Amino acid sequence: MTATTSAGATLAGMEALDPEDVELARALDDVRRAVLIASSAGVTEVDGLLTYLPALAGKGIRPRLTLLAAAVAAPEVSAPVSVAAGIELMHLGTLHHDDVVDEADVRRGQPTVAARWGARAAVFTGTYLLARGTELVGEAGDKAGRAAAACIAELWRGQTQELVSAFRVDRRANEYLRVIEQKTGALFGLAALVGGLAVSTPPQVGGLLECFGRTYGMAFQLADDLADLSSSSGLLGKPTCADVRAGVYTLPVISALADGGVAGARLRKLIGTPEIPPGDPDEIRELVHDAGGVNCGRRALRGLLDGAHAELERVPQTWATSRLHLLAEDLARVT
């Protein structure tokens, strides 16, 4: 767990510890407990399976976003723990499906559910957690229930677009951006929106929070994709160049492919079809770097983060708003 977030880093460093930070850490603990309780179905034979991934500690970025969004909108109202737990459960649910689709054997340092119990069990566990999460998010009201349904649709559209465009070297930057908005941005947007809805924030502030969540989510994904191609990786516990090998061409690769120089030409020869051996990961990484792909990705990340900060300027300025700024800026540090 190297990528700690602002509040976590503050706690670890025992620096200026605001009472709000302590409150937030406590609420996040409550969220973790709520997630565990909701993920158990009370059926002994299968509860071990259902709570397996929820019991492994994750970063909890999405529920943090929900709690901070609620605190931006209504600092005095108690934290919407159950709704934040719903967001985390939805996320955990999609991870199960992702692990089947990506053939991933390890997550959070442990064998995945798919690796331990089989793909079918992983899928039903994922759907279970997604459904439980959706139900809890729906507690924030009719609008939240509808937004959750729309979010699930977007997640699918993003995932599927990525799936059917695997190994396609004619993918464009704007297609990539749309995909990451759908597959990652949508749930971050929902996390922030329902945080606001849970404390009855006015629609306008809710909309701004959702926009921030979305942009931040896109930045989060792009940072993740950059890490896959940067030599300083290992951060996300994935082998490097995993995306390229799986035929998923992210923004750095897309812009490197468009490069007119030697590196771009060599890269175009190396990738583009599952039939061709993907080559040495180090070479691909270097080519993407030399063809300007990584720099281009970093510029785009900076642009997204600037956008996220700008969106925060338009919501009430509270302690939580400052924490959201820090949370976003944390991503710039990662790459």
Partner 1 sequence: MSPDVVAVVVGGGPAGSAAAAVLARHGRCVLLLDRSSFPRDKACGDGITYASMRQLARLGVTQQLDTYQPVSRTRLSFTSGPEFTRTNPDLSGRVVPRELLDALLIDRARALGAVVAPSHRVIGLLQDGGRAVGVRYVTGTTPGEVTGRFVVAADGATSVLARQAGLARASDRTAFAVRAYVDGIRGLGDEFRVVVPLVDPESGRTLAGYGWIFPVSADRANIGVGFLRTRPEEHEVNLRTVFRRFIASLDTPGTFVVGPLRGAPLPCDFDPDRCTRDGLLLVGDAARLVDPLSGEGIDVALESGALAGEMIHRALAADRDDVPGYGRELQRRFGRRIAAAWSLVENHEFVWGVVSSTVGVDRPLYRGVRRAVRTYDGEESTVPPESDPLGHWLWSQQLLGEVRATQQAVCEEVSSELPLLAGAVRELRDEPAEQVRIASLLVCAGALSRGPWRRTDALRLAVASELACLALAAHEDVMDHLPLGTREADRFAVSAGDFLLFRAYELAAQTGGWVVQAMSRASADVCVGTLLGQLEGPTPDRAQRLTRAAALTTGTLYSLPWRLGGHLAGSEEDAVERMADIGRALGVAWHSAHRSDGATSTGAVREDVESLYRLLGEEPGDRQLRTFLGVALDQTLTEHREAVGRGCDVASGPRRQRPP
Given the rule CB under 8 A, which residues bind partner 1?
41, 43, 45-46, 49-50, 97, 100-101, 103, 118-121, 123-125, 127-128, 131-132, 134-135, 138, 141-146, 148-150, 152-153, 155-157, 159-160, 163-164, 166-170, 268, 272-273, 275-276
CB of residue 149 to partner 1, shortest distance in Å: 4
Nearer to partner 1, 271 or 327 (CB): 271
C-beta of 29 vs 103, nearer to partner 1: 103
Which one, 243 or 311, has the nearer CB to partner 1?
A: 243
CA atoms in the 13 A half-sphere facing the CB of 213? 33
Residue 268: CB minimum distance to partner 1, A: 8
Q: How far is the CB of 141 from partner 1 (least distance, A)?
A: 7
Q: How far apart are CA 145 and CA 96, in angstroms?
A: 22
Provide, rounded to whole angstroms, the least separation between the CB of residue 332 and partner 1: 33
Q: Whole-number minimum distance, CB 100 to partner 1, in Å?
A: 5
* Residue closer to partner 1 (CB basis): 152 or 301: 152
DSSP secondary structure of 235-301: TTSS-TTHHHHTT---HHHHHHHT--SHHHHHHHHH-S-TTS----HHHHHHHHHHTTHHHHHHHHH
C-beta atoms surrounding 233 within 10 Å: 20
Cα–Cα distance between 240 and 203 in angstroms, integer? 42
Q: Which is nearer to partner 1, 48 or 234 (CB)?
A: 48
Question: Are 232 and 223 a contacting pair, CB within 8 Å?
Answer: no
Helix (H, G, I), strand (E, B) or coil at 177: helix
Smallest gap from residue 290 Cβ to partner 1 (A): 21
Nearest of 310, 145, 99 to residue 216 by alpha carbon? 310
Place of tokens 């281009």: 296
Residue 157 CA to residue 148 CA, distance in Å, equals 14
Considering the complex, state which of residue 21 and residue 88 has its C-beta at the smaller distance from partner 1. 88
Dihedral of CA atoms 3, 302, 217, 92 in degrees, nearest 10, equals -30
Q: Considering the complex, what minimum distance in angstroms separates the CB of residue 158 from partner 1? A: 11
Nearer to partner 1, 22 or 173 (CB): 173
**DSSP class per residue in 116-154:** HH-HHHHHHHHHHHHHHHHHHHGGG-HHHHHHHHHHHHH
